[in-house]
Amino acid sequence: MNLQMPIERVVVDASPLIILFKGQLEQLLPKLFNEIIVPAAVWEEVTDSKEDIAARALPTTSWVKRLELSEISGEIFAWGLGAGESEVLSYAFNHHQYWAIVDDKAARRCAKTLRIRTLGTGGLLVLAKRRGVIPSIIPALKAIECAGLWLSQDVIKLLMQQAGEDD
């Protein structure tokens, strides 16, 4: 993950959106990025359950741009990913100025193979710390874990090192 490069535009998958909303960290997105795109398949996945905080909040969120994709790139389609991951990666594949925010392991493997730049939810927290948007990564890591994102101790240790909080 090369967080030294400026990241201005992102296309976001459902899992990171849901985790950020549930962890009350969704405002990190507009503080970190100039443009935040949510493809239609992701939008539908997030808003499908009306009981969820993300489902209720996303439709009224002003900093998100909903996007209808006409088709999935053949290179992405061949991986057999879910509709949301496929739309996110297809958009980033065809628009190189966008980074894909995805947590799904298969989607990240596909992105790496096709040289699509990605950022996971944990990496987003590291970026927020490095840019001075949050003072510490530790409360944010706890928030995303409480929101349902499982992180191994090795991943937590790596994220804390990347954030400069590995004391």
pLDDT in tens, 5-24: 678 999 999 999 999 999 99
State the DSSP string of 144-155. Answer: HHHTT----HHH
The whole-model pTM stands at 0.93
pLDDT of residue 8: 93
Burial of 149 (0-12, 13-18, 19+ CB in 10 A): buried
pLDDT of residue 72: 93
Long-range contacts of 127-132 (CB under 8 A, 24+ apart): 127/3, 127/7, 127/32, 128/28, 128/31, 128/32, 129/163, 129/164, 129/165, 130/3, 130/163, 130/164, 131/32
